[in-house]
Amino acid sequence: MQSRSVSARQLLVGSPEMSDILFLAHRIPYPPDKGDKIRAWHVLQHLASQHRVHLGTFIDTPEDICHVQKLKTICASVFWRPLSPHLATLRSFRCLLSGASLTQGYYRDSRFRAEVDRVITRHRPNLIYIFSSAMVPYVITERHRTARLIVDMVDVDSEKWRQYAKTTSGPWHFVYAREGRLLLKLERQAALTADAVTFVTPAEVDLFTSLVPEVAARVHCVGNGVDVDYFQPTTEFASPLGDRPAIVFTGVMDYRPNVEAMTWFVRQVMPLLRGGARAPCLWIVGSNPSRSVRALAGPDVRVTGRVPDIRPYLRHAGVVVAPLRIARGIQNKVLEAMAMGATVVVTPEIRKTLGANQEDGLLTAATQAEFAEAIIRSLDGNFTSVGVQARSRIVGEYRWEKRLAALDRLLVDAEPGEERAVRSERKPVTVGAGIRT
């Protein structure tokens, strides 16, 4: 995809001096221990180093409340609301009786909305930065039009639900298909209102602009990065993996694509690797393993749950796998493994998200037989150069400061006349059933 030039519509900060920014995230961006939180944390840090950032967020895990203090050390102010996943799910299903998406119902909170309005009234931010389309309904009303707006959709979330519908039958097929349609409507409305919309990969940009071509001029790619000093293969770690050759998968293990990937891998690939004195062991490393994931554990499958540090697992893995069939955005688990110099085997779906070629430190497998062959050859030492290539690519292309340079290009100054013109072009839109904004 060719990079687009920055137009007057896309100039997002009106003063070279330190300004106020309202940053809204659907999940507390600390600790950065899962995909969306990793991106949110690094963007938040980046903005807070240059501006006064007022963070508003939900906390859906009580253990994360203690991290609010950390966020207060870099933000001018922080407000948050607890979110019970159980109650939020019940609230979301009420939306089946209306024209709103389940996502809108899940994150609907009148007190959070009041706090958003309070911060805007008190601090009059130059910029509102929205992390994920779920937070869009809080800031696209008429009274918010004096602030410039970036919506970081990360990926095309509606496409994930559409893919769920394709692989599901019965009533859930219709629920997922409905969610995909309504989320695309929300994404379109957000893009029509925003000054700029960002996605994590060129592939996501191309997908969204094919679905909503009228907003192509304001859609940009701001890629994810890796902390290459933290994920450093030369750091010494004791091995947590035992004596058998180790296959490692990392990820949040109640996330449906991860669950489906591991279920498929254990059932289809592991039987091809059993037998012999050096049969490998699969390590499923990640928080919140679902009941179906815990049921996969056995003599040659270990399910760890949350671990304090994934680096020892990546450092001592014989091979790292990412057999996801549904892969939206970019897979941080793959970038981190590559940064640690691991040999990584991915599906074509994941390779596509990285814009990768065949010589860049990744192995690709589409079938169970191809996965088994790549794993056996990796454990036999046939791909020792792949990890070296992977590390080199990450260091060269994926440092956070380099990836966020694209965001800096959006945060350039605008002349006052241009700013007024951009603001006047924005139109209020309708979000959900019967809600005029």
* 278/199: higher pLDDT: 199
Q: Taking a C-beta distance cutoff of 8 angstroms, is the pair 102, 437 a contact?
A: no
User: Do 106 and 254 fall into the same domain?
Assistant: no
| Residues 6 or more apart whose Cβ sits within 8 Å of residue 301 | 266, 270, 281, 282, 284
350 and 278 in a single domain? The answer is: yes
Q: Is residue 430 part of a domain?
A: no
Contacts of 285 (CB under 8 A, 6+ apart): 248, 249, 250, 251, 304, 307, 310, 313
- What count of other Cβ atoms lies within 10 Å of the Cβ of residue 287? 16
Co-location of 345 and 363 in the same domain:
yes
Task: Quote the domain boundaries for residue 307.
Answer: 246-397
Question: Residue 206 domain-assigned?
Answer: yes
Shared domain check, 280 and 339: yes
Residues linked to residue 248 through DSSP beta bridges, in sequence order = 283, 320
Question: Do residue 204 and residue 329 come from a single domain?
Answer: no
34-59: pLDDT as tens digits: 878 999 999 999 999 999 999 999 99
Residue 130 is assigned to a structural domain of this protein: yes
**Same-domain pairing of 213 and 257:** no
Shared-domain flag, residues 209 and 294: no
Q: What is the pLDDT of residues 126-185, one digit of tens each?
A: 999 999 989 999 987 655 567 889 999 999 999 999 989 998 999 999 999 999 999 999
The DSSP line for 103-145 is HHHHT--HHHHHHHHHHHHHH--SEEEEESGGGGGGT-SGGGT
pLDDT at 8: 32
Inside any domain, residue 183: yes
Q: Is residue 436 part of a domain?
A: no
User: Is residue 32 domain-shared with residue 20, that is, in the same domain?
Assistant: yes
Q: Is residue 3 part of a domain?
A: no
Assigned domain for 233 exists: no
Residue 392: predicted pLDDT: 92
User: pLDDT per residue over 281-331, tens digit each?
Assistant: 999 999 999 999 999 999 999 999 999 999 999 999 999 999 998 776 678
Residue 37 token pair: 């939180």
Same-domain pairing of 77 and 216: yes
Count how many residues are written for the chain: 437
203 and 254 inside one domain: no
- What is the tally of structural domains in the chain? 2
**pLDDT tens, position by position, 205-259:** 999 999 999 999 999 999 999 999 999 999 899 999 999 999 999 999 998 899 9
What is the pTM (predicted TM-score) of this model? 0.82
Return d(Cα 318, Cα 338) in angstroms, integer.
13
What count of other Cβ atoms lies within 10 Å of the Cβ of residue 122? Answer: 11
Ranking 118-122, 138-142, 311-315, 363-367 by mean pLDDT, the lowest is 138-142
Judgement on whether residues 374 and 418 belong to the same structural domain of the protein: no
Q: Is residue 237 part of a domain?
A: no
For the domain that residue 80 is a member of, what is the CATH number? 3.40.50.2000
Q: Is 303 helix (H, G, I), strand (E, B) or coil?
A: strand
Please indicate, yes or no, whether residues 138 and 277 belong to a single structural domain of this protein.
no
